[in-house]
Structure formats: C-alpha cells, structure tokens
Structure 1
Amino acid sequence: MGDGAAELRRELRDLVHAHVPADYLGAFTDDPADLEVAQQFCRLLADKGLLCLSWPAEFGGGGASAWEQTVVREEMWAHHEPRGAQYMGVNWVGPTIMRHGTEGQQRQHLPPIGRGEVIWCQGFSEPEAGSDLASLRTTARRDGDGWLVSGQKIWTSYATMAQWCFLLARTSRGEKKQQGLTIFLVPMSDPAITVRPIDCMMGPHHLNEVFFDDLRVTDADVLGTIGDGWSIVQDVLAFERVGIARYARCERLLQAAPKALGEGWELLPAELRARWSRMLLHCRRARLLAYRLVSLQSSGRVAPGDAASYRIAVTKLDQDSAEVLMEILAEIPSEHAGTAVAQWFRGEVQDHWKYSQASTVSSGSIEMQRILLSRALLAAS
C-alpha cells in the first residue's frame, strides 16, 4: 500500500490508543458510556478528515484512494470498531446516496454522515425473507401524492438508536419477484414505526424487530427510481460485504496469543500451535481476497461471485480462529492468568468468539454465498 498507508495506520493507532479505553469491547454493550466513546471518536475522526477519507471532495470527503480507506477499515475493525454504527453510513449508505440520490437527498443526508452525527439502520430482512430478500412482504401503496408503508422487518441492527432507516419495500408486482421493489429513506422518529429489541448474547442494539403501521412517505423519500430498488440493493450488498475487514481483528488476536500466554506458549500442544499457524495463513488469504475486491470495486467491476468468495473465506476465518483462540485461552498458566495482558486477551477472545457465531449468517448466509459463487463459476465455465 506504500509509505502513506503505513503513516495513516500509525496515526489511526495513535488516536485509538489516546481516545479509546484499553478494555473497550465495542459500542453496543450494556454500558451507555461505550456508545458515547464511539460517538466522540467519530466526531474526532471527522474533525481530522479521517471519517470519510475516501469520499469525493465534492461530498465533503478527503478524496483519498480506496486503499487508504481500506487501512481505516482494517484498523477500526481490529480495535472493535470505535466508529460504532457509523461504519454503516460511511461505508455504504453515504456512497449509495452519492450514486443514486437526488441533489436534495445528498444535501440532506451526506453532511450529517460526514460529521459523524447520524446513525442509520437497514430495513431489509423480514421473518419470511432473509436470505431470499426479494420475497419480502412489506408494501408501500399509493395514497394521494405519497405512499403508505406497512409491514415488518427483523434482525435490524441499531434500530433502537438509529435516526434514519434505509428501507426496502414492495411498490408493485412484476413477472419476477426482484421487480417492483423500491428504496425509501425514512426517519425512525416517525410514530408509525415501532421497534422491539430481540434479546441475544451480542448485547443491546444488535437485533430488533421493526414494525411499520401505515408509515407515510413521499416521492422525495424514494432513493433512485420507483420499482428499481433491486439494482440499488446489489450495490449496497457489494459495498457492505467488502466494507468489514474481519480478518484484521482475527490477525491481531492471533498475533497477541504468544505474549498473552508468556512462558506457557512453549508448552502448547504441537497440534494447537499448528492450527494457530494455519489461522494466520488464512488471515493472509482473506486479506488478499479483500484487496482483490477493493481493486475490482475501484474499477466498478465487482460481481456477486467475487464478493461471495471473500465472504465465505472471511466468515469461516472468523469462526475457525475464534475456536482456536478459545482453546489457546484455556492453556494460559494459572500463575500468568492475573497479568494485565492475559486479562485483556481473555476479554478480547471471549468477545470475538461471541460475535463470530453469527458471522456466517449476518449480511447474507454462507449457504447463499456458496450458491452465488457456484452460479458465477458455472456461468464462467
């Protein structure tokens, strides 16, 4: 990536060290102070021009390369994403509005995202339409000069804290189920929207049900063309699935294991150390796949199969590395367990294992990714 990327990486690590507590495990815990850490850190990054580093200058960004933005993604994810839920607005909501939004929508939504002031949630999945998203039942029906939206979304991350929702609804029926879908940009403060949290081991804010009871929207809230929302969804998924550098956290924890165990590292079973080495190799593989996608995305040539191959590799890495790390954790010598580095490692690994359990389901299940990849391979043969 060059000297500039290395300097940027050092700057980001210095900022994290100075402004994020050492025991920080993400914004979405039971402690409201963790969310405030993320909000403050976002504003700090925005003030330094680092929050939307690769956005075009015309939209308030730094005009940096995709590779510099990749450095930001890696360092943020490696350190428990201290941007909190802002990564959603920065990585794909903002770029999608740049590409498909009207001038008015760009003026309204991009500056608050760029300042780190607004949180978005994604209204896609439904009880009967998760992996098969195009089968959704939430409908928007014409009512005078606007629309009335009714239906239910589920597994909606950050819905309890978000100010805006990127909502997919059906506005008409076509020959194919992907036809007649439309994106709406809607405020979560509307009384026609009800949010019900879903308890889970990942903590508050992560999973929610969202109900729309005749939510009134207008044509000004439509992103892109009415009925052509599926093409925007494809853009969103490409941005979303490339945007999370899961391999960065895996590699950071694997590299920390020898120090965390101290003298106990030399006593690890040979088979476990071999698996540890294999996980590091898989980290590098996932990183190279991510870099390939960044290159393809820069030229506008990302295909579903490209994103799917990366998603399969990185989500499997997430889970497999978590299992290896948990086994290594159990081998910390009792006389070393009370040290600061061992305690830090324990908290990090347990948190990583907890989140990894959902990695092969969220943002498109691994089964669907395998189907997409298989179709791409068959089409190319």
Structure 2
Amino acid sequence: MGAAATKLRDELRRLVAEHVPPDYLGAFTDDPADLETAQKFCRLLAERGLLCLAWPREYGGRDASPWEQTVVREEMWAHHEPRGAQYMGVNWVGPTIMRHGTDGQRRRHLPPIARGEVIWCQGFSEPDAGSDLASLRTVARRDGDGWLISGQKVWTSYATMAQWCFLLARTSRRERRQQGLTIFLVPMDAPGVEVRPIDCLMGPHHLNEVFFDDVRVTEADVLGTVDEGWKVVQEVLSFERVGIARYARCERLLQAAPRVLGDGWEDLPAELRVRWARMLTHCRRARLLAYRVIALQSRGQVRPNDAAAYRIAVTRLDQDSAEVLMDIAALAPQDDAQTRWFRLEVEDHWRYSHASTVASGSIDVQRILLARALLAAS
C-alpha cells in the first residue's frame, strides 16, 4: 500500500497506545469503562477524520481510497477493535444508506455515524431463519401512512446499546422466498421493541433476542424499494464479511508469541512451531483474499462468491490459530507481566473463535455460495 499506508498505520498505532489502556480486551465486557473507552476513541478518530476515512467529504469522510480504510480496519481489529460497534455503521450501514437511501435518510443517518455518535445493530437472523435467512417470519404490514412490524430476531449483537436497527422483514408473499422482503431503519427506542440479552462465552452485549410487537415506522424508514430488500442484503453481507479483519488480530498474536516466550521459544516442540508457521501463512492467504474483494468493491463490483471465499478462509484461520496460540500460551512462563497479557489476549481470541464459523453466515452456507458460483462459471 506504500509509504502513505505506513504513515497511517504509525499514526493509528500511536493513537491506540496513547488512548486505549494496555489491558483493553474490547468494548463489550462487564466493565462499563471499556465501552466508554471505545466511544471516546471513536470520537477522537472522527475529529481527526479517521473514522470514516473513505467516505465522501459531504458525508463526513475524507474521500480516501478503500485501501486507506483497509489500513484503519486492520489496525482496529489487531488491537481489539477500539471503535467498539462502530465498524458496523462505518463499514456497511453507512455505505448502504449512501447507495440506496433517500436524501433525507442520508442527512439523518450519515452525519451521526461519521461523528461516532450512534451504534447500529443488525436485525437479520431469527430462531428459524439463520443461515436460511430468506425463510424469516418477521412481518411488516401497511397501516395508514406507515408500517407495523411484528416478529423476533436473535443473535443480535449490540442490541442492548444500539440506537438503530437495520431490519429485514417480510412485506409480501411471493413465489420465491427471496422476494417480498424489505429493509427498515428502526429506532430501538420505539414502543414495542424489547431486547433480552443471551449469556454466552463472549461476554455481555454480543448476543441478544429482539422482539417487535406492532412497532410503528414510517415510509421515511424504508430503505430502498419495498419488496426488493434481498438485493441490498446480498450487497450488505459482502461488505460486512470483508469488513471483519480478524486476520489482523491473528497475525498480531502469532507474531507476538516468539517475543513473549523469549529464549523459551526454541524449547517449544518442533511440531508446534511448524503449526505456528502454517498459521502465519494462512493469515497472509486470508489477507490476500480480503484484498481481492476490496479491489472489486473499489471498482463498484460486489461479488458474493469472493466474499464467501474470504469468509471461509478467515473463520477457519480464527479457530485453527486459536488452538495453536492456546498451546503456545500453556507453555509460556506464568510469572511475567507480558506473558499474562499474552494469555489474556489469547484466551479472548479463543473464546471468540468458537462463534466465528457461524457468525455473519455459517461456513457451510459460504461453501454453498462459493460452489454455486464456481459451477456456474465452469
């Protein structure tokens, strides 16, 4: 990416070192101070024009290239995502509103995202519609000059703190299930919205149920064309999946292992060091697959099969590298401050990795998408 990217990385790492505590393990812990750290850091990035770097200036960005935004994404994920939940608004909610929203929706929603002031959640999955998203049952029916939404969403990250939900609901019955779906931008404080947290290994805020009981929204809250939301969803998922740069965190932890173990590194079993080297290779593979998708998106192309290939690689990397890192951490000295930091980071990575192959579309569905694309091209 050149000298400009190196300079940007140095600036971001300096900001992280100065404004994010060294023991920070993400915004979504039991300690409210961690969320406040993320919110403050988001505002700091926004003030410096770094939060939505690649957005047009008219929407609060700096007209930077997608590659500069990729640098931001990688550095944030490498350091436990000190933007908190903002990556969702920055990476795909905002860009989707730019592409498919009305002028009013752009004026209403984009400035708060660019300032780091608003958190979004995603209302897609349901108890009987996860990987098979098109079978969802949440319905929106017309009522006068607006809509009434009823149904249930599940696995909704950040719903306890979000101000808005990017919601997919059924608005009509068609021959194909992918037809008759519409996207709504729903305020989470609207009457009839109820959030119930789900306890999990990853800690609070990650998983929730959200219930909608005749929640009223207006025509101004409809994104895109009624009944044609599936086309937008396919684009959204491509942006979302490449926006999660987990390979950057994997590589940072893998690179830290020899430094943390010091002289003890040479005492590791040869088989474990071979597995470590293999994981570094897989990090580079995932990075290159991500870059392929970003290059296409920079030319205005969105191909779900390329995003699926990346997603398969990065989720497997998540889990395989977590196992290698846990084996290395178990052999590290226990009475050293740096080693304690390493153990905590590795444990956090290991916990998250358990969900990686089902989050944002299961790995099995990604394989089906990729296989269909390859068969169609053959």
Range into which the TM-score falls when normalised by the shorter chain: over 0.9
- Residue correspondence of structure 1 range 144-159 to structure 2 within 5 A: 144-159=144-159
Letter in 1 for 2:243: G
Paired residue secondary structure (2:355): coil
1:267 counterpart residue number: 267
Shift of 1:301: 2.3
| Structure 1 residue runs without a partner (length 5+) | none
2:184 counterpart residue number: 184
CA RMSD of aligned residues (A): 0.7
Deviates more, 1:121-130 or 1:291-300: 291-300
**Contact in 2 for aligned 1:141/1:148 (Cα 8 Å):** yes
CA distance in 1, matches of 2:310, 2:318: 12
- Residue correspondence of structure 1 range 112-151 to structure 2 within 5 A: 112-151=112-151
- Residue correspondence of structure 1 range 18-97 to structure 2 within 5 A: 18-97=18-97
Aligned counterpart for 2:360 among listed residues 359, 363, 380: 363
Shift of 1:300: 2.1
Shift of 1:146: 1.2
CA distance in 1, matches of 2:143, 2:191: 18
Shift of 1:44: 0.2
1:279-304: CA deviations, max 9, x gaps? 00111111111111110111122312
1:299 counterpart residue number: 299
Letter in 2 for 1:361: V
1:341 counterpart residue number: 338
| Structure 2 residue runs without a partner (length 5+) | none
Detail structure 1 runs of 4+ shifted over 2 Å in the superposition. Answer: none
**Contact in 1 for aligned 2:183/2:229 (Cα 8 Å):** yes
So what's the TM-score if we normalise by structure 2?
0.99
Paired residue secondary structure (1:362): coil
Shift of 1:315: 0.5
Shift of 1:144: 1.3
CA distance in 2, matches of 1:29, 1:60: 30
CA distance in 2, matches of 1:305, 1:88: 21
**Contact in 2 for aligned 1:259/1:341 (Cα 8 Å):** no
Paired residue secondary structure (1:174): coil
Shift of 1:177: 0.4
CA distance in 1, matches of 2:142, 2:66: 40
Shift of 1:218: 1.2
Paired residue secondary structure (2:150): strand
Aligned counterpart for 2:375 among listed residues 359, 373, 378: 378
- Residue correspondence of structure 1 range 9-20 to structure 2 within 5 A: 9-20=9-20
**Contact in 2 for aligned 1:156/1:209 (Cα 8 Å):** yes
CA distance in 2, matches of 1:66, 1:147: 36
Shift of 1:145: 1.4
Letter in 2 for 1:42: C
Paired residue secondary structure (1:357): helix
Shift of 1:81: 0.2
Letter in 1 for 2:336: T
CA distance in 2, matches of 1:142, 1:274: 60
Aligned counterpart for 1:354 among listed residues 351, 354, 359: 351
CA distance in 1, matches of 2:301, 2:225: 22
What is the identity percentage for the equivalent residue pairs of Structure 1 and Structure 2? 79
**Contact in 2 for aligned 1:124/1:133 (Cα 8 Å):** yes
So what's the TM-score if we normalise by structure 1?
0.98
CA distance in 1, matches of 2:301, 2:165: 28
